[in-house]
């Protein structure tokens, strides 16, 4: 009996699909290019809401995995917290830690 049909990729409720993966990559690239973290957090999009905060922080210039872990701990954000699961206070702390660049 051929059981290859069992190994076909099926949708998984917690796994982003290819379209979401492209959107995630775009958001991370924009952060790396200097887009303000506050703009991303304020953006109402399901893909951003499902992204871990550490992943967003690691995309910022000058923030590596160690610094992202230290920042989330210092700001009282759980390691696996997603952007959509942030409280208003946590969002405000992130805005204060990463203010938008001043317009020249």
Q: Is the model's pLDDT at 34 over the cut of 70?
A: yes
Q: What angle do CA 80, 33, 43 make, to 5 degrees?
A: 55
Residue 61, by phi and psi: left (phi above 0), alpha (psi -120 to 50) or beta? Answer: beta
Composition of the chain by helix, strand, coil, percent to 5: 55, 0, 40
Q: Is the model's pLDDT at 54 over the cut of 60?
A: yes
Residues 60 and 31: beta-carbon distance below 8 Å: yes
Percent of the chain at pLDDT above 70?
A: 78
Q: Is the model's pLDDT at 96 over the cut of 80?
A: yes
* DSSP secondary structure code for residue 7 in this structure: G
Q: Is the model's pLDDT at 8 over the cut of 90?
A: no
- pLDDT at residue 3, as a whole number: 59
Q: What is the pTM of this model?
A: 0.77
Catalogue all structural domains in the chain, each as residue range(s) with its CATH number.
18-97 (1.10.8.50)
């Amino acid at each position: 009996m051929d059981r290859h049909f069992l190994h076909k990729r099926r949708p998984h409720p917690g796994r982003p699909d290819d379209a979401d993966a492209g959107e995630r990559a775009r958001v991370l690239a924009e952060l790396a290019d200097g887009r303000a973290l506050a703009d991303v957090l304020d953006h109402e999009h399901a893909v951003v809401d499902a992204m871990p905060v550490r992943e967003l922080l690691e995309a910022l210039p000058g923030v590596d995995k160690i610094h992202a872990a230290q920042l989330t701990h210092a700001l009282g954000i759980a390691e696996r917290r997603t952007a959509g699961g942030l409280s208003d206070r946590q969002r405000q702390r992130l805005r204060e830690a990463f203010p938008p660049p001043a317009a020249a």
